Amino acid sequence: MRRTSKERLTEKLACFGRFGADERGGITRLSLSPAALEACGEFRRRCECLGLAVRCDDMGNIYAVKRGTEDLPGPAMGSHADSVVNGGNYDGMLGVLAALEVLETMVLDGISTRRPVSAVIWTNEEGVRFPPAMMSSGVLTGKFDKAAVLDVRDADGVSFGEALSAAGRQGDKAARLGPESCTAYLELHIEQGPVLYESGESIGVVQGVVGMCNYTVSVFGRAGHAGSTPMPRRRDALYAAAGIIRRLHDDLGSIAGGPLFTFGHIECRPNMHTIIPEEVSFSLDARHRDPDVVRRVVEVITSLPKESDGCRVEYREEWARRSTLFDPALTALVKRNADALGYAGRFMFSGPGHDAQYVQDMLPAAMIFVPSIGGLSHCPDEKTSLDDCRNGTDVLLNTVLELADT
Ligand SMILES: [Zn+2]
């Protein structure tokens, strides 16, 4: 079995962790921001120093290719270089640097393969500056319309297309990752949850990404003076919403299979301490790997009463995502390599979404998870031990080498 270098990986994480380091001790590296462009520039510079060909497709995705001995399609690996606001340095970036470390190991150890091996940086995975998330892999796999996403604007009115052009990242459509150039896609990523950390295992072999649905529930009451409206006469939208959230919590919590659900965003209008709330909207995000469980969730939401505590109740589906199953032969190969390296691991599902799940629609794809200390992610305390980072990268290296020689 081949090994990557923990020292080199440590240096890469420290170097790239400077791009977007914010004053609150975290990373703010929004897509196509100066910090993200610096990180991508450093990636490109390092790849060119290794003698790799670097190119960019029309969605700004960056590819570094180590040629094979034959002109054939080959495996690719990668992740994203953008972050959320005040996030950590491991989400996405670890997968990018692991892919770089694999290519560097191949170059420095003189490993040649029959097929080429590529590293990819996906543009705008987080979707924080330009929604939706996983925008570029979504365009490549036909989920989103390219013209529509180029027109999506950030808070300053800059469109995604303008940001791509300004960054010089509107490359060649022919460079896109696809079945003509690529045989399989592997993404190493932090788990972003507590399972591996608590079990003490180093490697999660991801079998798929759970399905989810996302709703907005709105409650309409009547505004009135807080000092003069008698309690029995009130139609308080916030009070009604509290009852509905409680009821949804109980009903969703009793669904067999145990979906995960979150009421993460709430808006109250007019949101003044002297005025009875007139309108309240809240979000409901629910996830489960079994489509039947997600269907049960939808049944609970769609059977909400039209009226509650004197207030009108409406719900609206914002979006939904079906469960993705990764390629079983590829996940088995990842597990075999983890076992051969002597790294403890398990099969598992991902709750968060990743570019790999869209790629699976056009190519065999799989993901390697490494533990998140304390299960934390999307925050400055997001961290993975350097041993686990290296172990995951070793699994990536050996899996990719096997794919590149078949
Ligand atoms: Zn990520």
Task: Mention every residue, 6+ apart, whose C-beta is less than 8 A from residue 47.
Answer: 54, 64, 100, 103, 119
CA 378 to centroid of ligand 1, rounded, Å: 9
CA 228 to centroid of ligand 1, rounded, Å: 51
pLDDT of residue 319: 85
Name the DSSP class of 173: G
E-state strands within 210-278: 211-220, 260-262, 266-269
CA 78 to centroid of ligand 1, rounded, Å: 11
CA 369 to centroid of ligand 1, rounded, Å: 11
DSSP letters spanning 97-122? HHHHHHHHHHHHTT---SS-EEEEEE
CA-CA-CA-CA torsion sign (58, 61, 66, 67): negative
CB hemisphere CA count around 387 (13 angstroms) = 7
pLDDT of residue 397: 98
Rounded to whole angstroms, how far apart are CA atoms 100 and 78?
A: 9
pLDDT of residue 28: 97
CA 2 to centroid of ligand 1, rounded, Å: 26
CA 353 to centroid of ligand 1, rounded, Å: 8
Give the pTM. Answer: 0.87
CA 274 to centroid of ligand 1, rounded, Å: 42
Ion ligand 1, residues whose Cβ is below 5 A away: 91-92
Which structural domains are found in the chain, ordered by start? 6-210+323-404 (3.40.630.10), 211-321 (3.30.70.360)
CA 92 to centroid of ligand 1, rounded, Å: 4
Rounded to whole angstroms, how far apart are CA atoms 60 and 133?
A: 15
Q: Please, what are the averages of pLDDT over each run of 10 residues along the chain (406 residues)?
A: 98 98 96 98 98 97 98 98 96 98 98 98 96 95 96 96 96 96 98 97 97 96 97 97 98 96 96 98 95 95 96 94 94 98 97 96 97 96 98 98 96
CA 160 to centroid of ligand 1, rounded, Å: 19
Please give the span between the terminal C-alpha atoms of the chain, in angstroms, as a whole number.
16
CA 188 to centroid of ligand 1, rounded, Å: 10
CA 311 to centroid of ligand 1, rounded, Å: 40
The pair of structure tokens assigned to 311 is 């207030």
pLDDT of residue 370: 98
pLDDT of residue 216: 97
Closest CA to 398 of 353, 358, 346, 341: 341
CA 318 to centroid of ligand 1, rounded, Å: 22
